[in-house]
Amino acid sequence: MGWGKRSILSAAVTVVCAVTVLGVPGTAFAAPAPRPSTSPTPPPGKDLEKVREELDRLYHDAAVATDAYNAAEEKAEQQSARIDALTQKIQQGQRRLAGLKDRAGAAAREQYRTGGIPPTAQFLLSDDPGQVLDGAGLVLQGQRATKTLMGELAGTQKQLRSYAADAADRWRKLDAERRAKAAAKKRIQRQIAAAEKLESQLEKKDRERLAELEKQAALKAQTRWLDTGILQRIHGKASAQGEKAVAFATAQLGKPYVWGAEGPKAYDCSGLTSQAWAAAGRPIPRTSQEQWKQLKHIDITDMRPGDLVIYFDDASHVALYIGDGTIIQAPRPGRDVTIAGAGSMPILGVVRPDA
């Protein structure tokens, strides 16, 4: 929204007289891989498992902040669109008000031209009966026209005052969403910077061992999930739209995770799922938390390719189920869009965009 539109709103207020101016799991979850024969042993003085858990926490907090950032951005865009619509209405109202004032001015000039004598007096003083009758009709018409004109003027002024007040409220909400977005951005940057600092303090061999620990943690969780026999009970077939969503997500494999991104070169977790379903012709909420709140919940045994798997108690991560117990996800900063086990993170539930 530019300053030009602000001036339009201010002008409208002046015209109508005295109106007040106006995500992500902490680890990178790769596809299940064979378990190594022996677990790596952390070097003396360094507990890499604790480092992994701390990284999980930092990246999880960053994911929560990313969802808040995306939500604020979405609301700010909605407010901006509403302000645009109000600005157009105010411009139309200004033009209408100007036209009505021109008509009122013309009526005043006509009265001046006739010497200031009201039309009623003019026809009553006439000696011509026909002119009197004609004048009577004209007076009635004039009275109705004047009443209509004044009503339109008052109505347009009231409407403009309402638009101006609504626009002022929208500006306040837009400003609040921008502040929320800025605060979330700072939290994201702070959490990611702490995680990167923690990783940078590790030697190369420790980083390699840490990566292996991450894979093992994901594999352990996936194995535990599969051991429940869940996969034998999931036989859902993708819908036509679900197939399109899966095809879109598959085409994004290897692209980097960037918080707040929704393509085409990078994605965050909900940016990937929302764009996949937009490509399938079914727009869905932008954030994982709103996807969880607004989309239809289904039992995990009814899951089918294209459904969204929501993770963690706070719904801070989401991925696209693609079948055979696997998902496509944008994991976290420093990782790329990848295939992972659907059970490699704590599952909150499953939602279906095209239910």
Give the percent of the chain with pLDDT over 70.
74
Nearest to 148 by CA among 102, 112, 100: 100
pLDDT of residue 22 exceeding 50, the answer is no
pLDDT (0 to 100) of residue 276: 98
pLDDT (0 to 100) of residue 23: 35
Helix (H, G, I), strand (E, B) or coil at 134: helix
pLDDT of residue 69 exceeding 90, the answer is no
pLDDT (0 to 100) of residue 169: 82
Cα Rg of the chain, angstroms: 33
Which position has the higher pLDDT, 37 or 119? 119
pLDDT of residue 124 exceeding 50, the answer is no
Mean pLDDT (the chain) is 79
pLDDT of residue 319 exceeding 80, the answer is yes
Which position has the higher pLDDT, 1 or 154? 154
pLDDT of residue 129 exceeding 80, the answer is no
pLDDT (0 to 100) of residue 68: 85
Which position has the higher pLDDT, 312 or 19? 312
Residue 108: pLDDT band (50, 70, 90) is low
pLDDT of residue 175 exceeding 90, the answer is no
Residue 162: pLDDT band (50, 70, 90) is confident
Structural contact between residues 96 and 153, judged by C-beta atoms closer than 8 angstroms: no
pLDDT of residue 164 exceeding 70, the answer is yes
Nearest to 206 by CA among 24, 20, 46: 46
pLDDT of residue 9 exceeding 50, the answer is no
pLDDT tens for 278-296 read: 999 999 999 999 999 999 9
Nearest to 341 by CA among 54, 31, 62: 31
Residue 180 burial (10 A CB sphere; 0-12, 13-18, 19+): middle
Residue 309: pLDDT band (50, 70, 90) is very high
How far is residue 189's CA from residue 192's CA, in Å, rounded to a whole number? 5
pLDDT of residue 98 exceeding 90, the answer is no
Structural contact between residues 310 and 348, judged by C-beta atoms closer than 8 angstroms: yes
pLDDT (0 to 100) of residue 4: 44
pLDDT of residue 173 exceeding 90, the answer is no
Of the listed ranges 84-93, 95-104, 195-204, 215-224, the one predicted with least confidence: 95-104
Residue 38: pLDDT band (50, 70, 90) is very low
Write down the residue that tokens 């022996």 correspond to: 38
Q: In the structure encoding, which two tokens stand for residue 54, read together?
A: 């701390």
Residue 316: pLDDT band (50, 70, 90) is very high
Section 70-88 average pLDDT: 82
Q: In the structure encoding, which two tokens stand for residue 65, read together?
A: 């902040």
Which position has the higher pLDDT, 274 or 68? 274
pLDDT (0 to 100) of residue 343: 95
Section 171-184 average pLDDT: 85
